[in-house]
Chain A
Amino acid sequence: MTWSEMQPLLTQGTYDTLYMVLWSTLVTVLGGLPIGILLVLTDKGGLLQNQPLNKVLGVIVNIGRSLPFIILLIFLIPVTTAVVGTFIGPTAMIVPLAIGAIPFFARLVETAVREVDHGLIEAVESMGGGIPTLVGKVLLPQALPSLVAGVTTTVITLVGYSAMAGAVGGEGLGSKAITYGFQRFETGFMVATVVVLIVLVTVVQLIGDGVVRLLARRGRTA
């Protein structure tokens, strides 16, 4: 396989991977953020203390996290078909990718939000602030650096998941690596996809770290 043969495959693969990862990240953040916050607020001593709800959420999150992604992928085929109309292609992959990452991201959100100093919660309560104020003006802004770090980790995990999705009808770099690199024994192409994935992950990590540092410099941490 020559470079001129590889290049369009790599470009298309990278494009599909980015497409799946970015959309599923968006859905994951929208879904995981409220769950993570609820896990903290409904916990013992929380402002919305509700042990049964907390336990149920916790169990759901744990089940989601303990299933191997490849199993979840197959398991979710009916759901994906119901939502998107097909279970093949990059758009269809957004469903299992997001569902697989939401519990993971929710736990990261929970940890980040829990780290917010309890004194700040008390301060905003003493001012007469309610739950929306607490979440919107205290918990989220204060936890923002950790949340951004969590998003970075999630994006990288999703890059890995998306490569697996290639095995079950997805598109992207993973699918290309399996089809060309593995099934046609094109070792050169396999190496090339791995290099692209490494670059992708490194760039995501660098951007994430940069944003966290930027937030920290504004005096957010400590």
Chain B
Amino acid sequence: MITTSGLTKVYQSRGREVTALDGVDLHVREGEVYGVIGQSGAGKSSLIRCVNLLERPTTGTVHVDGVDLTALAGRGRRAGKELREARSRIGMVFQHFNLLSSRTVQANVELPLEILGVSGRERSRKALELLDLVGLADKAKAYPTQLSGGQKQRVGIARALAGDPKVLLSDEATSALDPETTRSILKLLRDLNEQLGLTVLLITHEMDVVKTVCDSAALMKKGRIVESGTVAELLATPGSELAGELFPVTGAASGPDRTVVDVTFHGEAAAQPVISQLSRTYNIDISILGAAMDTVAGRLIGRMRIELPGRYEDNVVPVGFLREQGLQVDVVDEADGIDNELAELTELAKDGAK
């Protein structure tokens, strides 16, 4: 639905060149919620602004819903008619809401419809319908200053949906909101994604946002996408930084002669009680040291760090069992194992001395 290829953006600042985007290839599938995460200055803001050409990329192309937007861009700062038409089918919500304080809530939602040339009665009907959709039907006649942050963002979302967009761009939409309001706004985005089949591209610096709503995610650093994929794909990638952040597990072995393994649930394995099956089948005691799991559509996604009795050599069969279940199993920190052996040797030496 959204494809950027070889996107670069170079700013000229007092004769110096600053590269904000350095060859970004992004692919957002239709109907998914895609999160781009990165620290400030990583270029994510430039990226989302290049998608609807609020910023003109230096090189590269942007396709949204099959239309090459970069081909529609004129030479100057001013957008031509075709680009403006294309933009009206891409909704955008902003961190600071960007509502007109001179207009009522309803008139704010009507603004994009005025631009589209919709008649007065139809505008009013559509605006009230959208306000109802975002749960603000009773605030139609209020002014933005009379609303809370969360309510303002709901108006922003209603306004972004006025042109019946297929794509919604969300520029740090929850970054100015408290955690509870953030959750309610994310839930709204998720609901809209499911009800309207809306494709959502959001940028954020909060891992929680990605965790809560995203089907896919990309990690940006210094103007490049360093990791990307669906949450399951990221989990399956050994050493994935995003997966580690999304599903952090910690915990060290409780003593020598223990095997610590990370079990990754990609969502392919049905939500079976594998751990208790493992325990009963091999008659071993299993300790769970840490876990970060989510159930998405009846499938388990996440990571679990478990401890098995005995050394790794003793646990080849149980580990094989887990792999047979379609789970990814990684042995944690072989260096720890060596340390344990060293510890054993010292103990042996001590025993010998006695």
Chain A: CB-nearest residue to B112: A127
- Complex CA gap A125/B78 in Å reads 9
- A137-B114, A219-B144 in contact; A126/B101 too (CB < 8 A)? no
- Per-residue B-contact encoding for A29-54, CB less than 8 Å = 1, 0 else: 00000000000000001111100000
B94 touches A123 (CB 8 A): yes
Question: In residues 72-96 of chain B, which contact A (Cβ within 8 Å)?
Answer: 76-79, 81, 83-88, 90, 92, 94, 96
Can you list 10 A-B contacts (CB < 8 A)? A123-B98, A126-B52, A126-B90, A127-B88, A128-B87, A129-B112, A138-B100, A141-B100, A141-B102, A219-B144
- Per-residue B-contact encoding for A115-130, CB less than 8 Å = 1, 0 else: 0010110111111111
- Per-residue A-contact encoding for B91-118, CB less than 8 Å = 1, 0 else: 0101010101111000000011011100
- Complex CA gap A128/B103 in Å reads 19
Task: Identify the A interface with B (CB < 8 A).
Answer: 45-49, 117, 119-120, 122-131, 133, 137-138, 141-142, 144, 218-222
- A48-B78, A122-B54, A219-B144 in contact; A129/B102 too (CB < 8 A)? no
- A219-B145, A222-B145 in contact; A128/B101 too (CB < 8 A)? no
Question: In residues 258-317 of chain B, which contact A (Cβ within 8 Å)?
Answer: none
Q: Which residues of the partner chain A approach B83 to less than 8 Å between Cβ atoms?
A: 128
Q: Which residues of the partner chain B approach A144 to less than 8 Å between Cβ atoms?
A: 102
Q: Which residues of the partner chain B approach A127 to less than 8 Å between Cβ atoms?
A: 87-88, 111-112, 115, 159, 163
Chain A: CB-nearest residue to B146: A219
The yes or no answer to B247 lying at the interface (CB within 8 A) is no
Known: A49-B77, A117-B98, A123-B98. 8 other contacts (CB 8 A): A46-B77, A126-B87, A127-B159, A128-B79, A137-B100, A220-B102, A221-B145, A222-B145
B111 touches A218 (CB 8 A): no
Q: Which residues of the partner chain A approach B321 to less than 8 Å between Cβ atoms?
A: none
- A47-B78, A123-B92, A131-B78 in contact; A220/B101 too (CB < 8 A)? yes
Q: Among A49, A129, A219, point to the contact of B101 (Cβ < 8 A).
A: A219
Q: Name the distance in Å between B105's Cβ and chain A's nearest Cβ.
A: 10
- Complex CA gap A130/B77 in Å reads 12
- Complex CA gap A33/B143 in Å reads 27
- Complex CA gap A188/B146 in Å reads 54
Q: Name the distance in Å between A147's Cβ and chain B's nearest Cβ.
A: 12
Q: Among B52, B78, B86, B100, point to the contact of A120 (Cβ < 8 A).
A: B100
- Complex CA gap A14/B144 in Å reads 43
Q: Which residues of the partner chain B approach A47 to less than 8 Å between Cβ atoms?
A: 77-78
Chain B: CB-nearest residue to A130: B84
Among B112, B116, B144, B146, find the residue whose CB has the most chain A CB atoms closer than 10 A.
B112
Chain B: CB-nearest residue to A126: B92
Q: Which residues of the partner chain A approach B96 to less than 8 Å between Cβ atoms?
A: 117, 119
Among B96, B98, B116, find the residue whose CB has the most chain A CB atoms closer than 10 A.
B98
Among A117, A119, A127, A131, find the residue whose CB has the most chain B CB atoms closer than 10 A.
A127
A122 touches B94 (CB 8 A): yes
Q: Name the distance in Å between A107's Cβ and chain B's nearest Cβ.
A: 22
3 nearest interchain CB pairs?
A219-B143, A128-B88, A123-B98
Q: Name the distance in Å between A113's Cβ and chain B's nearest Cβ.
A: 13
Q: Which residues of the partner chain A approach B142 to less than 8 Å between Cβ atoms?
A: 219
A119 touches B115 (CB 8 A): no
Among B86, B94, B169, find the residue whose CB has the most chain A CB atoms closer than 10 A.
B94
A142 touches B78 (CB 8 A): no
Q: Which residues of the partner chain A approach B111 to less than 8 Å between Cβ atoms?
A: 124, 127, 129, 137
Q: Which residues of the partner chain B approach A221 to less than 8 Å between Cβ atoms?
A: 101, 145
